[in-house]
Amino acid sequence: MAEKADAESLIPKFKVERLLNQDQNDRRISLLGTIDGFPAVLIAERAAFVSDPDSIRSFHAALTKVQNLGANDIYRWYLASSGLNDHAPSDLKLNLIWPCTEQHILKYSAQTVRIVTETPQIYRDYVRPYMHIKREDGRLNWVFNIIEGRKEQEDVIIRESGEEEGFLLLPDLNWDRKTLGTLRLLAVVERRDLWSLRDLTKSHIPWLKRMRDKLLDAVVKVYPKLDRDQLKLYVHYQPTYYHFHIHVVNVMLEAGTTQATGKAFGLENLISQLETMAGGPDAGMADVSLSYLLGEASELWTNVFGPLKRSETPKFSS
């Protein structure tokens, strides 16, 4: 007990000198200071959320200083305080989806993850028809609202118009819009013929290179403290929505599941793969097998890859 008490008495004695580092998506900081005149490093990391029902209700009831950052269709995002200190800055980033669909509930539920291999035939016969369904019934209205200037225009960092060359650069909803070390941006192209990286062909190589250079130039112009080689560009497969977009993040941002192998495909690597691919200008990413991660609650697992694993007929077909 004496050792524990002695250890606990050290923290109040810590005198802060300066911040050494801030990482883990702003959840961990390293501080330099002194205790009794001797140098010390203190690493502070936010604890995990308590998940029992009573604690969850108490957490929600304690939210204060809720500040809306933006809204588009069913998506809204905020800064808020956990209520521990009325004078403390906002320490929470909130995303609200309302009204949400069953697909949203499945996406954000805990689930076992599988790795699948999507062959060109599986893509053509089952996944492409699934993508088509997901583009119907106004499911991309929130994207088109941004492109057509009806929503989120105050959030547009850079806009370049053009049938093929046009794009918009926006803050990612998971970025707090102030910490460059955790910079997350989203480049949404105006052209509507590209649904995902599967639509990229060798003929798109010059366009991809122009997009890469325009995005890098735009970001370092808006955020002059960053250099081009401090930025990482990638696309997701499977993406959250089927309208081609490129993620731009600070290379110092610690890679979570959204940047992991089986989810993120580097833009430079995609360009290189297309350049070295055999075939004419129409040869492309639809002609290769791709391995990626799927949750067991996802529609692609339950309707396509799960049945295929059991030697059954998938529910989506061309």
The per-residue pLDDT for range 29-56, each reduced to its tens digit, is 888 889 899 888 888 877 667 778 887 8
147 and 37 within one domain: no
Is 180 within a domain?
yes
Is 121 within a domain?
yes
pLDDT in tens, 176-193: 788 898 899 999 999 999
Annotated active-site positions, please? Answer: 245
217 and 159 within one domain: yes
- The count of domains in the chain is 3
Is 298 within a domain?
yes
123 and 260 within one domain: yes
Is 155 within a domain?
yes
pLDDT classification of 286: cutoffs 50, 70, 90: very high
pLDDT in tens, 300-315: 999 999 999 999 999 8
273 and 185 within one domain: yes
Is 115 within a domain?
yes
Is 132 within a domain?
yes
Range of the domain at 261: 103-309
304 and 211 within one domain: yes
147 and 71 within one domain: no
Is 316 within a domain?
no
301 and 225 within one domain: yes
pLDDT in tens, 195-243: 999 999 999 999 999 999 999 999 999 999 999 999 999 999 999 899 9
Residues 6+ apart with CB under 8 A from 75: 95, 96, 97, 142, 173
169 and 22 within one domain: no
0.85 surpassed by pTM = no
240 and 116 within one domain: yes
247 and 114 within one domain: yes
